[in-house]
């Protein structure tokens, strides 16, 4: 006897199983926003509390920076968080939440420093 599958059942049957994050991060939803990791969601919560308390301003998630070499855009980098820290005399801070700092990320940090003179901080 031949079994008949619906289109959805067939697609589910042949679909490759979804792999988890290679660094073990668990996707987390907080305030209706999906974060790449539980730690990133925790930091977001803490930074929002500091913003409400007036200790930081200009808070942005997923701040985009263009990577420009010789006047040509060669790529983009999205920082997890960017804000002005009033506890450090109005310093503009860019933060990326990482469990593992890769060689590629170190390269991007150097490019951001060269182009924008900004140190991308890594929070674990």
The full length of the chain comes to 124
> Could you state, in order of their start, the residue ranges of all structural domains in the chain?
24-123
Over residues 19-45, the pLDDT tens digits come to 767 777 888 999 999 999 999 999 999
User: Residue 85 and residue 35: Cα distance in Å, rounded?
Assistant: 22
Quick check: helix, strand or coil at residue 93?
strand
Token readout for 43 is 């930091």
Binned at pLDDT 50, 70 and 90, residue 50 comes out as: very high
- pLDDT of 10 reads 83
* Second-level CATH architecture of 24-123: 3-Layer(aba) Sandwich (3.40)
Which one is predicted more confidently, 16 or 94? 94
At 58 the pLDDT is 97
Token pair 């997890």 is found at 80
Longest CA–CA span in the chain (Å) reads 76
pLDDT at 1 over 80: no
User: Is the predicted pLDDT of residue 7 greater than 80, yes or no?
Assistant: yes
pLDDT in tens, 61-111: 999 999 988 999 999 999 999 999 999 999 999 999 998 999 999 999 999
| Confidence (pLDDT) at 20 | 67
Q: Are 98 and 124 in contact (CB under 8 A)?
A: yes
Q: Confidence band (pLDDT; 50, 70, 90) for 3?
A: confident
pLDDT at 46: 97
């Amino acid at each position: 006897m031949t079994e008949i599958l619906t289109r959805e059942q067939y697609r589910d049957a042949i679909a490759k199983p979804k792999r988890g994050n290679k660094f073990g991060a668990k996707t987390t939803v907080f305030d209706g926003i999906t974060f790449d990791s539980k730690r990133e969601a925790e930091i977001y919560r803490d930074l929002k509390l500091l913003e409400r308390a007036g200790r930081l301003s200009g808070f942005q998630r997923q701040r985009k920076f263009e990577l420009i070499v010789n006047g040509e855009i060669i790529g983009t980098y999205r920082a997890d968080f960017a804000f002005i820290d009033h506890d450090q005399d109005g310093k503009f801070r860019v933060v990326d939440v990482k469990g593992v700092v890769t060689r590629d990320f170190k390269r991007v940090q150097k490019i951001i420093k060269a182009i924008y003179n900004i140190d991308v901080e890594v929070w674990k």
